[in-house]
Amino acid sequence: MKKYCINWKKAPNLRIAFFMAGTFSLISLALGIMLHPYYFILMGVVGFMQILFAITGFCPMVIGLQVVGKRECHLK
């Protein structure tokens, strides 16, 4: 049986992108509950970008990390 796991050492930007997506989701959930329901829109945008990444492989967060000097993703 194959183990489906990403080697995070080969994809450091992807690990940061997943961390940031989870952080934004939890923060927008808390803000939506405590302050104003419009913060749930941020959670929807994060979820949409995760679906877009899963389908197309396009991730603006990783592109931004590459621009500021983080190592590139190597999933092969």
Cα 35 to its chain centre, rounded Å, is 24
Inform me whether the pLDDT recorded for 71 exceeds 70. Answer: no
- Identify whether the C-beta of residue 41 lies closer than 8 Å to the C-beta of residue 49: no
What pLDDT is recorded for position 66? 78
Tell me, what's the pLDDT at 25? 94
Domain residue extents for the chain: 8-67
Q: Which of 20, 16, 42 is nearest to 29 (CA)?
A: 42
The per-residue pLDDT for range 27-48, each reduced to its tens digit, is 999 999 999 999 999 999 999 9
Rounded to the nearest 10 degrees, how much is the dihedral formed by the CA atoms of 32, 36, 40, 41?
-150
What's the confidence (pLDDT) of residue 2?
55
